[in-house]
Amino acid sequence: MTRLLQRPVQHEEAEPVIRLAHVTVRYNSEHVALDDVSFTLQRGERVAVVGPNGAGKSTLFKVIAGILRPTSGSADVYGHAPGGHICIAYVPQRNLVDWSFPVTVADVVMMGRVGKLGLLRWPRRRDWEIVHESLRLVGMEDMADRQIGELSGGQQQRVFIARALAQEAEVLLMDEPFTGLDMPSQEVLFGILDRLRDREVTVMVSTHDLNQAADRFDRIILLNRRLIAMGRAEEVLTEANLLAAYGGQMAMLDTEKGTLVVSDTCCSRGMDDV
């Protein structure tokens, strides 16, 4: 709660939207979840974070959201630690959310206004207008009064995006938003993300789908505790990098020459036409 009593942090506009410098996270003072991770993002980029289970993707999002403090190193959003920012919207992995919590869709989106409202002001008519406008943008206006737990996975993700819109977020962090969504729902989400481009919202999304990461994002971060590679798909998703990231777990990537299958449980680590 103390966070709400502080004034929102001012942005250093000359600084990158996100800058991580030598971020290391150790859980229980032993297990290293992130190891010396450094990168910067520019305003308006759409970046995919990929890597095997346990690679530290969720940990990375929590650090940037300001929920988890790095053991060493620093994470900054527009030049300041993320804690005091109201411009960061974070959508946790679905299985980390308590969906039985009795709130309506409109309530969830109004929560995005809290930073703007301050602690002691009730929502005004303008705030409700923004909530409904945000729901309209994600095609969920008709469901404003529904309980959040009644919605499908794709609808829940849209509500969280509406909350980010209501928050007037400049950074949107979505942890595995596509997991469990059917293709039409995924397309709806991408349509909404396309609109966020117009607002120059910087979007980071973790995904298990390497093809999607390659096709639909400006840059890719390949993570396995360390930052193995970052850049455009063709620079990042090389066989050597995928092996470094996935090791024994299998990764499949469609390329012009066929499907690249990476696995060190298999003897042929090359291009296989599948």
Site residues for ligand ADP per CB under 6 A: 27-28, 31, 33, 51, 53-59
Closest distance of CB 31 from ligand ADP, Å: 5
Question: Which partner, Mg ion, ligand ADP, none, binds residue 28 by CB below 5 to 8 Å per kind?
Answer: ligand ADP
Closer residue to ligand ADP, CB minimum distance, 17 or 222: 222
Which listed residue (18, 58, 109, 251) binds Mg ion by CB under 5 A?
58
Judged by beta carbon, residue 27 or residue 191, the one nearer ligand ADP is 27
Least Å distance between CB 175 and Mg ion?
6
The nearer residue to ligand ADP, 51 or 115, going by C-beta atoms, is 51
Stretch that binds Mg ion, among 54-62, 99-107, 191-199, 251-259 (CB under 5 A): 54-62
Whose Cβ is closer to ligand ADP: residue 163's or residue 225's?
A: 225
- The nearer residue to Mg ion, 59 or 202, going by C-beta atoms, is 59
H/E element, 165: helix 153-166
Instruction: Write the secondary structure of 95-133 as one string of H (helix), E (strand) and C (coil).
Output: HHCCCCCCCEHHHHHHHCCHHHHCCCCCCCHHHHHHHHH
CB atoms within 10 A of CB 150: 12
Smallest distance, Mg ion to C-beta of residue 149, A: 22
Return left, alpha or beta for 36; rule: phi > 0 is left, psi -120 to 50 is alpha, else beta: left
Q: Which does 2 bind (CB under 5 to 8 A by kind): ligand ADP, Mg ion, none?
A: none
CB within 8 A of 54, min separation 6: which ones? none
Residue 99 touches which of ligand ADP, Mg ion, none (Cβ within 5-8 Å per kind): none
Size of site (CB under 5 A) for Mg ion = 2
* Comparison of 54 and 248: residue with beta carbon closer to ligand ADP: 54
Q: Is 156 in the site for Mg ion (CB under 5 A)?
A: no
The closest residue (CB) to Mg ion is 58
